[in-house]
Structures are given as C-alpha cells and as structure tokens.
Amino acid sequence: MMNTMRSGSAQACEDIQDPEGFSIEDEKFDLIYPAQIRKLSSIFWTPVAVAAAAAKLLVTAPSLRVLDIGCGPGKFCLVASSLTDGRFTGVEQRSELVAAARQAATDLHLSDIEFLHGNVMDVAFAEYDAFYLFNPFEENMHSGYKIDGAIPLSPALFKTYTAHVSTQLGTKPLGTRVVTYAGYADDIPSCYDCESTLFSDDLKLWIKNREFELDIERLKLGVSRSHRGTNGWHRPRN
C-alpha cells in the first residue's frame, strides 16, 4: 500500500493513511528535518496521525505537562504541541536529534515545548503529569535496527532503562495517563490498566488504577518480556 500511495498524485493521497499510520502527511511534515533524520522517520518517529491521537488521549487539562521518553527529533512533541494546550518536554540522549528537535520548534514558532539532552535515567518524573513512549529502548534488543552507532546499546541497558521507567511511573498518582505506541509495553507497571487502543492496538492508553508494588514488578521483569503488546516491534518498512 505504501508504494501505491507514493506513486499516486499527492492531492489524491492527501487524506489516505496506511494501516500503520505513516502517510503523505508524514512525508510533508518530515521535510522540516535534515535528510539523514527524515529517512529514519517511517521506522523510528511517530506518524503525524498517531501523534495527534496520542496527544488527545494525554492532555485532559490545560497546561498539563507531558514527557516524551526518548523524543528523537521531537516529532510527537511538535505535533502534539501544535494541536493541544499541553506543555511538552522531550528527553533524548542523541545530541544531533535534540538539535533537530529544537530547530524544528523554532521553525514552527512553537512555545510550551522543550527538549532536554540527556538520559531518561536523569529526568525528574515528578515534574510531569503524563507520559508518551514509542519503543524508546527497543534498539537495545534488536541489533539490526539501529538509528546509528552513537550510543551504547545492550540487552542489559534495555532492562535497566525499562525497570527505571516502570518504577518511576509506579510512583505517579492514581489516574496518571501514559500512552505507548507499538512495542510490548514492558515499561508499564502492572498497577496501570490498558483503557483503550487505536491504530490496530498499536496505540494504547494506560491509566494508573492501583498502588505500585515493587516486588510484583521485579517478578515480572525477572521472568521474561511481558508480551502485553499485540504487535511488538515493527519491521522496517521500505
């Protein structure tokens, strides 16, 4: 379907979206990025339609503070900030992607948006009300699907990052919202329930409904991947 869409006229394809969410709208949006970053988009950055839906699920009150964990060049934050009155922060450990995100925010004249260069391990979760994750740590588990060789990757880091995020999300108040796109949702502690899904179950809204119990989470991570996602890691599209 992707090839058919791209070979047809741009006008005719304007409102068409393929089943995985990547569309001609994304090809237009991604022009804001340098070519090297743009070419990674269909695999690693959230499609515009998905970002719009995720933003609506997360921003339930004006000025709500949303953290994108592993924001890449900021595509989710940029789309979400332009469509809602939430305040968006992205944290990203690759400096080149942070620079692209900041430049794009300037080019789009967006305020209420910021990009932090750093590791999620150093972020104060207390400063945020809601969270977005598009498979931030999955690269550690799939040596074939890498953005670049700029950062250390390993299954041990996957486990460290996932356990940290899970524990941090566990500390948030009841009612906290988290949206995940694709993946196995290993970073979502079991005190959160999946309340709704979109995009063939790839986009999930999770809400904290119970108190966090660290012992239960340790058991889950110690045994295996949770497999709570329906689709898991996407193969790269051509």
Q: How far apart are CA 27 and CA 38, in angstroms?
A: 8
**Which of 17, 23, 42, 46 touches ligand SAM (CB under 6 A)?**
46
Identify the residue among 30, 68, 129, 187 touching ligand SAM (CB under 6 A).
Answer: 68
**Which residue has the CB atom at the shortest distance from ligand SAM?**
70
Query: Edge-to-edge strands of the sheet including 203-208?
Result: 113-117, 87-92, 65-69, 130-134, 177-181, 203-208, 192-198
Q: Which listed range, 20-28, 69-77, 81-89, 221-229, lies at the site for ligand SAM (CB under 6 A)?
A: 69-77
Minimum distance from CB of 214 to ligand SAM (Å)?
21
Please report whether residue 72 would count as binding ligand SAM according to CB under 6 A: yes
* Member of 38, 94, 172, 208 binding ligand SAM (CB under 6 A): 94
Least distance to ligand SAM from the beta carbon of 139, Å? 6
Among 120, 130, 191, 205, binds ligand SAM (CB under 6 A): 120
The footprint of ligand SAM (CB under 6 A) covers: 44-46, 68, 70-72, 75-76, 91-94, 97, 119-120, 134-137, 147, 161
